[in-house]
Amino acid sequence: MEGTIFSLLPPIITIAIIILTKRLFLSLGVGIALGALLYNQWNVIDSVANVYSIMTGVLSEDGKVLIFVVLIGVLSSLLYLSGGIYAFAEWGVKVAKTRVQAQMATMLLGFFTWFDDAFSCLFRGAVMRSVTDKYQVSHSKLSYLIHSTSAPIALLIPVSALSAFIVSIIAGVFDKTKITEFQPLEAFLFAIPANFYTISTIVLVFIVAYFGINVGQMRQDEKRAIDEGILFDTTRGKIPGAEDSKLPSRKDGKVADLLLPVLTLIVVTVLSAIWIGSEGSTSALELLKNTDVISALIYGGSSAILVILARLLSKKTPGGHLKVTIVAGVKTTLPSVAILFLALVTAEIISSLGVGQYLASLIKDNMALGWLPVIFFIFAAFISYSIGSTLGTAGLMLPIGAEIVAATDIAFLIPIIGAVLAGTVFGEHSSPLSDTTILASIGSSVHPIDHMITQLPYAGLSSISSIIGFLVLGFTQNVFIGLAAALITVVIGAYVLRNRQQRSGSSFEEIAK
């Protein structure tokens, strides 16, 4: 049944179950089982053996990325224990002299917590709330600032946990589809400028903060915060998922407790990547192709943990606090590790069924290839919104996209990777099921529904700009022309919103900046 219409059954049924049940693990499991049965002509024994073989292969080939994610979870928890992030927040309170500066400091902190998007959402909210509360920034606005500079930033930096996940998925897809034109990391790096949604989102959030552009429900929440000092809707009740108890955290933390481990992670990762890839390389591009970025990330993550542990031990941090923190760090990563594992197995199953080859045969005869980037952006956004998972969506969509371009025109590989990643972030950004939506809400102390409603107009503007960018990219095959089109659109959109706000506004608009 490979390469026929029946090969579409596993991904279609998987997506349908996800939408109907909202249970990602169950849905991926059903998709894996159905795909294996189809591939093995409904022979149960052969199917079980096939799935076992694929799972062991994934563990042996991608086990390192799973280790790195656990290391990042431990590092994130230890950084919290050190008090370094709170020290940075206190520094921010002293430095931020205006409402705009408080918002800018909140977003800029995202460039120091890029290594894990979930950690960035939760802890930036917790530590920067005291800064923004001082200037009566609504918690809805705070959650928007944080959410828009978490996953988007993490996907633009190759040494983050999220990027490592994606590179691992790309590596598996390339191996299965026999794509040799690019190395996985190389393809990911080249796709960064094609990730129009993340780039336009980061540009837009800084524009919104600087010019005080408040749209729809956000305008009402900001006005209430300034006029009445009420920073969130108290009628919503307790915020779902908010915990009364917290992990231990030192009160004597220094900014260096945050900066030293993060700098260690970056420096050791870069040096390790150069060392690993330098053998036989005569240029930077060859070094990039020859290196093993996941191994480099493990070296960087391990070194960063050693640095923060050394600082904690030198301050005589109780062993019990260290144990609780490390265990909590491991626990927070387990759902992501499980999703990645199942996504990689699903990708292998989908690829073996020839789903991409079948779709490629339909597209080749019935549609111009220039439509592919925008189509993949829209489909990825829909799936990601439905399941609330960047990794689950990437695991479903990247294998299909890679097989289509491998059978049609490899020149569309980078645009499709960029489009899929852009769509997954947009969908997750807008989804009430997304873990980062929940964590940004908890960290900012605002109800997830309020966060989702107030963020949606801005996410919608970024998505419209992305659609225009992908249309331009598809028919010009020039990433930078497409990116320029997307950024011009988002800037024009922000300008229109600003003008409308000024025409209908009052003195509140200037204060709200």
Q: Is the pLDDT of residue 490 over 90?
A: yes
Dist CA 223 CA 227 (whole Å): 6
Dist CA 335 CA 175 (whole Å): 25
Quickly list H helices, 109-156. Answer: 117-134, 139-147, 151-156
Quickly list H helices, 315-371. Answer: 319-352, 355-366
pLDDT digits (tens, 9 = 90+) for 377-413: 998 898 888 667 787 788 888 988 888 888 888 999 9
Q: What is the pTM of this model?
A: 0.76
Residue ranges per domain, the chain?
A: 5-511
Q: Number of C-alpha atoms within 13 angstroms, CB side, residue 125?
A: 30
Q: Which stretch of 140-149, 277-286, 289-298, 328-337 has the lowest confidence by average pLDDT?
A: 277-286
Amino acid 238: pLDDT: 58
Q: 117-134 vs 44-82: helix axis angle to the nearest 10?
A: 30
Confidence of residue 173 (pLDDT cuts 50, 70, 90): confident
Q: Is the pLDDT of residue 513 over 60?
A: no
Q: Is the pLDDT of residue 116 over 80?
A: no
Confidence of residue 241 (pLDDT cuts 50, 70, 90): very low
Closest CA to 418 of 398, 392, 395, 390: 398
| Biggest CA pair distance of the chain | 72
Amino acid 511: pLDDT: 53
pLDDT digits (tens, 9 = 90+) for 71-97: 888 888 898 899 887 787 777 777 788
Q: Which stretch of 15-19, 209-213, 268-272 has the lowest confidence by average pLDDT?
A: 15-19
Q: Is the pLDDT of residue 462 over 90?
A: yes
Amino acid 364: pLDDT: 64
Dist CA 114 CA 170 (whole Å): 21
Share of the chain above pLDDT 90, in %: 36
Q: Is the pLDDT of residue 237 over 70?
A: no
